[in-house]
Amino acid sequence: MKVLLLSHYYPPMGGAGVQRALKFSKYLGAEGVQVSVLAGDDPGYTRDDSLLAEIPPGLRVERVAHTPLLQRLVRRHAAAPAGAAPAASAARPAWRDAALAAWGSLQWPDGQAGWARRAHAVATRLVREQGLELILSSAPPVSSHRLAARLARELRLPWVADWRDLWTDNPAYAAPAWRRAADRALETRLLDSAAGVVTVTPTLQRVLAARLGGRREVALIPNGYDEADFAAVEPVPAEPGTFRVVHAGTLYGHQSPLPLLLAADRLLTAQPALAQRLRLRLVGLVGARFETMLAEFAAVHPGVLERRGYVEHHQAVAEMQGADLLLLIIGGGAAARGVLSGKVFEYLRARRPVLLIGPTDGDAAQLLRAHAASRVAEEGDVAGIAAALGAALTGGYGSVPDAARPELFERRALTAQLAVFLQRCAERRRG
């Protein structure tokens, strides 16, 4: 089978959003699926050139250049002089943030709509030149699905929609009320026109299956870890006498470091001597809106907070393996029960204890309880988070369950499941 993979986020773009599409394209060939990729190209977006080495030789990748206007405006106004502290970018006036948010609400269905329009001709050419038989699109951005649906209709091909996140049911959905009806209607049309739907968590699978009412199959193929990523790196060396709590990845949307900072402050106020050992290490991008709270915490507890900023993926894996405790921040309350960050599977493979700040009855909590030494606390439970940190520091955190099987989430095995599903969708459409 020959498949066109539409994924706006793809190397050399970096960040968590590229991993799923990259690993599918890396391993589908071994399952008899020949892949061509159509991706975005935004030079101003976070880059990780090291990921280019994972693209199989001979795999066709076309990139369509596009930088959303909103992103150009944000980057222009957020730019700080060389050598300036990160907090310099946090001083945007409120009116400017409001204006940017209003402009963003006018981009439909999202800021990558212009990319999808430009990519249409390239995708059509790829399908015809390569004799492609099925389209697989990954979202967000939803513009990827909208482009896939258009191509499928025009070229009479089946397409499969991979929903990494929900759209209108997402806890981070922030479009104004006047847009919700239009977004919901488009989402319904996209679901109905796909030959099959793939998603990443049990909760998302239930939500999408309910929306479809049995009209399409919704497959659960979670995110995972790539064993090759772990074989190639050594853990970041430990600093003698310290206990390192590592959060790897971007903090965005409803995710906030505030519950962690409040809990650490509570713990260190009660036991000041722990400040000599505790290190809260943030590896990845942190939103400008958090700069003030981070600076205030660092001023009260000097030396406890460590920030590495964005690092290439192999370095992030090394940080995970070198942690004493891994931190997963979901937040979002009950609406975020179905959120299951991709990095949680790499946390499982790193085989380090995990502290989850988020819904105690969510998909992430259930996964961690089954496969890792873990504790879970709601974002509002500062005392519970502080207690978990204290237990970790004193060696009372618990052990990995006997039935733990993190190998279930290895990327090669998950990609094999996807290949079977794609074949089934293609055959069903032909039938």
Instruction: Note the pLDDT tens digit of each residue in 167-187.
Output: 999 888 888 888 999 999 999
* Cα–Cα distance for residue pair 117/113, rounded to 1 Å: 6
**pTM for the model:** 0.88
What would the mean pLDDT of 77-106 be, rounded to a whole number?
51
Q: Are 320 and 417 in a shared domain?
A: no
Q: Taking 50 as the threshold, does the pLDDT of residue 226 lie above it?
A: yes
* Cα–Cα distance for residue pair 115/109, rounded to 1 Å: 12
Q: Are 17 and 134 in a shared domain?
A: yes
Q: Are 188 and 337 in a shared domain?
A: no
Provide the pLDDT for residue 228: 96
Whether 79 is in a domain gets the answer: no
Cβ-based burial of 299 (10 A; exposed 0-12, middle 13-18, buried ≥19): exposed
Whether 318 is in a domain gets the answer: yes
How does pLDDT run across 105-137, given as a tens digit for each residue?
Answer: 678 899 999 999 999 999 999 999 999 999 999
Whether 88 is in a domain gets the answer: no
Q: Are 130 and 216 in a shared domain?
A: yes
**pLDDT grade, residue 98 (50/70/90)?**
low
Q: Are 326 and 377 in a shared domain?
A: yes
Q: Taking 70 as the threshold, does the pLDDT of residue 138 lie above it?
A: yes
Provide the pLDDT for residue 218: 98
Whether 16 is in a domain gets the answer: yes
CATH value at residue 330: 3.40.50.2000
Whether 373 is in a domain gets the answer: yes
Domain total of the chain: 2
Quick one: what percent of the chain has pLDDT higher than 90? Answer: 79
Provide the pLDDT for residue 68: 72
Q: Which residue has the higher pLDDT, 322 or 77?
A: 322
Mean pLDDT rounded to a whole number for the chain: 91
Q: What is the number of other CB atoms lying within 10 angstroms of the CB of residue 35?
A: 23
Range of the domain at 248: 238-408
Q: Taking 70 as the threshold, does the pLDDT of residue 248 lie above it?
A: yes
**pLDDT grade, residue 332 (50/70/90)?**
confident
Which of 3-17, 97-111, 247-261 tops mean pLDDT? Answer: 3-17
Q: Taking 90 as the threshold, does the pLDDT of residue 72 lie above it?
A: no
**pLDDT grade, residue 88 (50/70/90)?**
very low
Provide the pLDDT for residue 67: 84
Task: Pull the structure tokens for residue 293.
Answer: 């709270």
Whether 101 is in a domain gets the answer: no
SS (H, E, C) the chain: CEEEEEECCCCCECCHHHHHHHHHHHHHHHHCCEEEEEEEECCCCCECHHHHHHCCCCCEEEEEECCCHHHHHHHHHHCCCCCCCHHHHHCCCHHHHHHHHHHHHCCCCCCCHHHHHHHHHHHHHHHHHHCCCEEEEEECCHHHHHHHHHHHHHHCCCEEEEECCCCCCCCCCCCCHHHHHHHHHHHHHHHHHCCEEEECCHHHHHHHHHHHCCCCCEEECCCCECHHHHHCCCCCCCCCCCEEEEEECCECCCCCCHHHHHHHHHHHHHCHHHHHCEEEEEECCECHHHHHHHHHHHHHCCCCEEEEECCCHHHHHHHHHCCCEEEEECCCHHHHCCCCCCHHHHHHHHCCCEEEECCCCCHHHHHHHHHCCEEEECCCCHHHHHHHHHHHHCCCCCCCCCCCCHHHHEHHHHHHHHHHHHHHHHHHHHC
Provide the pLDDT for residue 83: 35
Q: Are 202 and 295 in a shared domain?
A: no
Q: Are 126 and 23 in a shared domain?
A: yes
Provide the pLDDT for residue 322: 97
**pLDDT grade, residue 100 (50/70/90)?**
low
Whether 138 is in a domain gets the answer: yes
What would the mean pLDDT of 295-306 be, rounded to a whole number?
97
Q: Which of 36-40, 112-116, 251-255 has the lowest mean pLDDT?
A: 251-255
* Cα–Cα distance for residue pair 117/22, rounded to 1 Å: 23
Q: Are 219 and 155 in a shared domain?
A: yes
Q: What is the CA radius of gyration of the chain?
A: 22
Whether 320 is in a domain gets the answer: yes
Q: Are 347 and 420 in a shared domain?
A: no
Q: Are 212 and 261 in a shared domain?
A: no
Provide the pLDDT for residue 94: 63
Q: Are 28 and 165 in a shared domain?
A: yes
Q: Which residues, 6 or more positions from 213, have their beta carbon under 8 angstroms from its beta carbon?
A: none
Q: Are 395 and 325 in a shared domain?
A: yes
Provide the pLDDT for residue 177: 87
